[in-house]
Structure 1
Amino acid sequence: MGMPHFTGNLAPGSRNRAADFRVHLAGETATGATLLIMREFSRRGLRDRVHKWRASVALAAGLALGTARSAGADRPATPPAIQPGPAVEPAREVEGDDARLAILRDYFRSQRSPLHEFAGIFLSAADSNGLDWRLLPALAMVESGGGRRYIRNNVFGWNSGRARFSSIPDSIVHIAAKLVTLPAYRGKDLHGILRAYNPARRDYAQRVLALIRRIAPDPPSAAPAVAR
C-alpha cells in the first residue's frame, strides 16, 4: 500500500497532524499485514490439524481392520454340521393271539397305568432286541409310576430324567435298543443290565426284579408276532 504524499503550505500544527496521520496509516498498514500473516498461519495450522486428524483416523481404521482380521484368524472354523445317526426303527406293535399282550395290558390297568395302550409296542421292542419282555414295563413302573409321573415322554428316567423323546413309543424303542448296544449294557444278563442302569442304588435291581415277577411269575413263550 502506497503512503499519501502531502505538498504545499500547511497551517500551524498541520505538520504535526500530517506526521500523526502518516504514523496512523503506517500502524494500520502494519496491523493489516499482521492480520494477513496471522490468517495465513491460522490457515496453515488448520490444514495441519486436518492432516493430523485424517492421519489419526486412517491409523485407527487400520488398527481396527488388523484387529478384526486377527480375530477372524484366531476364530475356530465353523464346525461341520452334525450328521444324524441312524434312524430308530419305527415302533411296531405286537397283536393277535400273543398271550403276553393280554397279561401286560391287564397288569398296567391294574396299576392304573396309561401305558396299557402301548403294551404291543413294549413286546415288539423287547423281541426285536432279545430282551425279557417284562424288563421295560418294570423299568417304567419304577421310574415313572407306569407313565403317571414323567416329562419329555421319558417314562424310563433315561439320562437321569433329562432325555427328551418325541413320543412314548419312541422312548420304548430307543431304550430297548440302547440296553443291548451301549457298552455299559452290551452282553450282560438281566442282573447286569439292572446294576448298570442305576448303579447308585444298591436295591435297584431287586426292586425291578420284584416287579418283573409280579407282571408274570412264569412268563409264557412268545407267539409269532404280527407287526403293523
Structure 2
Amino acid sequence: MKKLSRAVVLCASLLAVPSSPDSDIAFAEVYRYQQDPRIDAVRDFFLQYDCPAAGLALDFVAAADHNGLDWRLLPSIAFIESSGGKDFRNNNILGWDNGRQEFRSVSAGIHYVGYQLAHSSLYRNKPLERKLFTYNPRPEYVRLILDIMSTLGPESLPPKP
C-alpha cells in the first residue's frame, strides 16, 4: 500500500507542474525512480524553500543520470539561477545563456542543459569546478553551487528500504 501511495504522489506531483504535460520522462522511468532517495532529497530541498521546482525533482535526477552528471548539480544550479523556479523566463530554469535560450518546456530545458554540461566541447572532460566556472565565471558561483550540492546530500545515497 505504501508503494502504491508513493507512486500516486509522485505521479500527481509531476502532473501538478506546468511543464509536466510535455515532460521528457516516460511513465516507465517514473516507476523506476519511485524508490530513489535522490528524488525525495531534491523535492524536500525545494519544498523547504517553497520552490516550484520541487515538482521537477524527477527531471533533475533523470537528466543527470542520462548524462553521467552528479545528481545534485542541476537542482543546485536551478536554485541559484532561478531561486528554484521562482524567477525565470523562456522555460529556462537553469539560466542557460543568461536566460535568453528558449525551451519548449522547463523539463526540456533541464535535459538540454544536462546534455550540454556532459557533452558540449565547452564542458566535456572538465572537472566539476571547471564546468561551473565555464557556466558562470563569477568567483563565488562555484562555491555557492558546491555548498548547495553538499546540502542536498552525499553523491551516493543508499536506496530506501
TM tier relative to shorter chain: 0.7 to 0.9
Match of residue 55 from structure 2: 117
Deviation of the 1:222 alpha carbon: 6.7
Match of residue 226 from structure 1: none
Q: Distance in 2 between matches of 1:220 and 1:96?
A: 17
TM normalised by structure 2 equals 0.77
Q: Is the CA contact 1:137–1:146 (under 8 Å) kept in the aligned structure 2?
A: yes
Match of residue 209 from structure 1: 146
In structure 2, stretches of 5+ residues that fail to align are 1-22
Match of residue 182 from structure 1: 120
Q: Distance in 1 between matches of 2:58 and 2:25?
A: 9
Q: 2:88 aligns with which of 150, 158, 182?
A: 150
Flag the structure with more relative contact order, 1 or 2, with Cα contacts below 8 A and sequence separation at least 6. Answer: 2
Match of residue 73 from structure 2: 135
Deviation of the 1:90 alpha carbon: 3.1
State percent identity of aligned pairs. Answer: 36
Deviation of the 1:183 alpha carbon: 1.1
Q: Distance in 1 between matches of 2:40 and 2:126?
A: 29
Deviation of the 1:161 alpha carbon: 1.2
Aligned length: 133
SS of residue paired to 1:112:
coil
Please give the per-residue CA displacement for 1:194-217, whole angstroms capped at 9, x wherever unaligned.
011012x1111011111111111x
Moved over 6 A (4+): none
Higher share of residues assigned helix? 2
Q: Which has the larger radius of gyration?
A: 1
In structure 1, stretches of 5+ residues that fail to align are 1-88, 224-228
SS of residue paired to 1:185:
coil
TM normalised by structure 1 equals 0.55
Q: Distance in 2 between matches of 1:132 and 1:222?
A: 15
